[in-house]
Amino acid sequence: MEYGMACAIGGAALAAFLSGAGSSIGLGIAGRSAAGVLSEKPERYGSLTLMVVLPSTQGVYGFIIALMVMVKLNMFGGGLETPISVQEGLALLAACLPVGIGGLFSAIHQGKTSAGGILMAAKKPEMAVKAGVLYSAMVELYAILGFLVSLLVILMGIELGGA
């Protein structure tokens, strides 16, 4: 495999790995808080579930970007007929970084924010959606921005094969 293709595939792997790692950490943080609350108040399961799963979206964003890179490389159709240059491979790698790095940090912080909302909802269940979900969803904005930057650069900013 040539260096350009290795860089592009490495970018896809980083998008999926970094955002997925952030999601799993964020889910773990929120899940631990929910488990503690549910051990005392199992009736709150429904209101806490959304706050626990919110950090998982970043992993989905990274997965979609990794798929978009693989589609761009025509990996599902037998591979590129023309090898990609080092510059094209590095461009794809760089395009994957906003969703990967943004997803890593936003998912972790979204998990922490969700954990705070879960603890708040334990004492004030009426605030679960009003504040707990809303505050956690605000952190999501930065994951969405990273996803959009990665997606737009991959779809519109990089032409492969000198075309």
Could you read off the pLDDT of 110-144 as tens digits, one per residue? 999 999 999 888 888 887 777 788 898 899 999 99
Question: Both tokens of residue 115?
Answer: 């954990």
pLDDT of residue 68: 96
- The alpha carbon of 59 is separated from its chain's Cα centroid by a whole number of angstroms, namely 4
Q: What are phi and psi of 124, to 5 degrees?
A: -130, 80
Residues of the chain whose pLDDT is less than 70?
1, 79-81, 162-163
pLDDT of residue 132: 81
Compute the half-sphere exposure of residue 13: CA atoms within 13 Å on the CB side of its CA: 7
pLDDT of residue 122: 84
What is the identity of the amino acid at 2? E
Does residue 123 contact residue 101 with C-beta atoms inside 8 Å? no
Question: Both tokens of residue 50?
Answer: 């959304």
Query: Closest Cα partner for 24 from 47, 56, 46?
Result: 56
pLDDT of residue 126: 82
Vertex 41 angle, CA 44 and 59, to 5°: 50
Between the alpha carbon of residue 32 and those of residues 35, 54, 119, 132, the distances in Å are 5, 14, 11, 16
pLDDT of residue 1: 66
Q: Class assignment of domain 3-157?
A: mainly alpha
